[in-house]
Structure 1
Amino acid sequence: MFQKGGSHIYSIVKSLNNNLVLAQDEQRKEYVLFGTGIGFKKKKGDLIEESLITKIFHGEDYQNISALVDSISPDVLSVTENIVDEGEKYLGKKLNTSLLISLADHIQSAINRQNEGIEIVGSSLQWEIPFLYTKESKIGKKALEVIAIKLGVDLPEMEAAFIALHFVNAQDGIQSMDETMLITAITKSMVKTIQSLFDVVLNKESMNYSRFVTHIRYFMNRQIRQEEMIANPDDKLYLIIQEQYPKSYACGLMIREMLKKEYQLVINDDEMIYLIIHIQRVVSETK
């Protein structure tokens, strides 16, 4: 998320608090800027010293940041920035710079519902998310603790799952939460197939499981974007994999058929090689 101001010149649209401002560049494109003291005694039109900017956040192309920021309390924005920062440290990677806006909007909406006594019915997927995305789910749970302490609001436990999905979304560069939910549902189906065929419960905390889920996400991203798949299968390696790991190969075939039948997705032979290897690794360590 760390991003310096570069050669852009930013001017204040609105000071949100001492450390957060809504600003625009010379093309009048809007951003939320973070930096210690960046909003102190600032008024509309003031230029921002580049040395004060430590992070730059933007919205999605279709978002009106001014309207969104007007609907989010500065305290929620500040707490969300803290959650994003801690999440990045925990995951060890920089996330999509639109995460602050989308997550703050979600948290504000959840708080509004809580204050109005509105209950939402959770998706069946919410119970699967901690098993599919272990690290992100821990961030979600920690976020609820931070929100309770700093904002004095106890959000329902299921909100941890939705916050986790925002962090999943921000790693993959996916265009919408609907796509993230689709990938989550497909991942759940694949994991269920593996556990059923091998009669195991996969170790969701393991490195191989994490790699497996990450591989599925990248594969699905390419499918959703209809990017050209690798189409140079190594026939010899494919045959070796079939012979060496017959049960993982059979599992891969079941998953391939399920994806084609239920989601109209195609796994070519080269993708199958990687899928079978991941299945073999994640099952072997469990057994």
Structure 2
Amino acid sequence: MRVLRVLNNNVVLSRDDTGRGVILTGRGIGFRAQVGQEVDPAKIVQVFVPADGRDPDHLAEAFAMIDQEVLRAVVIALREAGIEHGESDRPTLAIAVADHVSGALDRLRRGIEIEYPLRAEVQTLYPQEHDRARRLLEEMNRLVEPRLPAHEATALALHLVGAGFSTGDLSFTYTMTGVIQQMLAIVGERFGIALDRNSMAAARFITHVRYMFVRIQQHRQLSGEQSLISRTIREAYPEATRTAEQLAVIVQLRMGEGLSYDEISYLALHVARMATEAQTADRP
């Protein structure tokens, strides 16, 4: 790969063998580098491939604006924690995490500590991301000073959840988290049950809703023009369907977009499974 543009000593813009614009990071990778010069492979720590039509130049500039020692630590920590590999198509994740870590370190140096109000919700709703965030935090703390406190895993987990969406803005993730909590509460109230949020049915419901939010954001909702499967679900589970329609109202109010007929039907199926599992568990 050859240098297209030097952003700073640690970030350069290049082009790979397929002609894609890529961002290369690594200590000293841009030091005295000239446009057109071959990049030393030994200096490459991470290759970022902009996805979704993102402009490599703009992303490279965003990388260059981050504290370079923090960026280096984040890139290495993401790799060591098994979250990213040598090549990544999620540059916005590294940028968002590095920006967050820079702010957290600055707060610690000034003696300011904050607690995250969604700590319990994140551990319950996103257990896999929270586990990965804890590993990421461990790796980060091998590389930065002062050490980040354990509750920073909550914020890092939210960034990992947000990486599944096309924007790096955490506001969408915060809203989604609140909506999922509200949906679970409504299901419990409608059926008069105490939902175990660690149960298999609840885990499947949460996973389904998370992917539903991805489809909403990408404007790719399930839509089979009132398919036979959807009609069958509605006939089999009328109360769950009414509950799902209520959940759809919440989604529209909070997210600004209504759910399709098929989305509501599949939501009803998961509601019915949660209700059945909870009611079965309550029987002597």
Q: TM-score range by the shorter chain?
A: 0.7 to 0.9
RMSD over aligned Cα atoms = 3.6
The normalised TM-score by structure 1 is 0.74
**Equivalent residue for 1:117, pick from 97, 100, 111:** 111
**Equivalent residue for 1:260, pick from 234, 252, 258:** 252
Query: After the TM superposition, which residues 263-274 of structure 1 pair with which residues of structure 2 at under 5 Å, given as runs?
Result: 263-274=255-266
Partner of 2:48: 57
Deviation at 1:251, TM superposition (A): 2.2
User: Structure 2 counterpart of 1:72, which letter?
Assistant: D
Does the CA contact (< 8 Å) of 1:230 and 1:271 recur in 2?
yes
C-alpha separation between the residues in 2 aligned to 1:247 and 1:137? 34
Partner of 1:194: 187
CA deviation string 1:6-37 (max 9, x = no partner): xx533673676xxxx3112369x772335xxx
**Equivalent residue for 2:14, pick from 12, 25, 36:** 25
The share of aligned pairs that are identical, in percent, is 22
C-alpha separation between the residues in 1 aligned to 2:272 and 2:42? 51
C-alpha separation between the residues in 1 aligned to 2:6 and 2:30? 13
SS in 2 for 1:128: helix
Deviation at 1:276, TM superposition (A): 1.5
Could you say if the C-alpha distance between residues 167 and 127 of structure 1 is closer, same or farther in structure 2, counting changes exceeding 3 Å? same
Greater shift, 224-233 or 178-187, is seen at: 224-233
Greater shift, 49-58 or 196-205, is seen at: 49-58
SS in 2 for 1:151: coil
**Equivalent residue for 1:72, pick from 67, 70, 75:** 67
Could you say if the C-alpha distance between residues 71 and 176 of structure 1 is closer, same or farther in structure 2, counting changes exceeding 3 Å? closer
Does the CA contact (< 8 Å) of 2:230 and 2:266 recur in 1?
no
User: Structure 1 counterpart of 2:169, which letter?
Assistant: S
Partner of 1:172: 165
Deviation at 1:50, TM superposition (A): 5.6
Does the CA contact (< 8 Å) of 1:125 and 1:185 recur in 2?
no
C-alpha separation between the residues in 2 aligned to 1:211 and 1:145? 29
Does the CA contact (< 8 Å) of 1:68 and 1:105 recur in 2?
no
CA deviation string 1:152-199 (max 9, x = no partner): 433344321111111112123335222222222222222222233342
C-alpha separation between the residues in 1 aligned to 2:63 and 2:107? 17
SS in 2 for 1:173: coil
Deviation at 1:112, TM superposition (A): 0.9
SS in 2 for 1:31: strand
CA deviation string 1:240-279 (max 9, x = no partner): 3234334422321221232234444312221112111222
Aligned length in residues? 265
C-alpha separation between the residues in 1 aligned to 2:239 and 2:89? 37
**Equivalent residue for 2:121, pick from 121, 128, 149:** 128
Deviation at 1:227, TM superposition (A): 4.4
Q: Does 1:84 align with 2:78?
A: yes
User: Structure 2 counterpart of 1:172, which letter?
Assistant: F
Q: Does 1:48 align with 2:16?
A: no
SS in 2 for 1:44: coil
C-alpha separation between the residues in 2 aligned to 1:54 and 1:150? 15
The normalised TM-score by structure 2 is 0.75
C-alpha separation between the residues in 1 aligned to 2:40 and 2:63? 25
**Equivalent residue for 2:99, pick from 102, 105, 109:** 105
Partner of 1:137: 130
Unaligned runs of 5+ in 1: 1-7
Does the CA contact (< 8 Å) of 2:6 and 2:30 recur in 1?
no
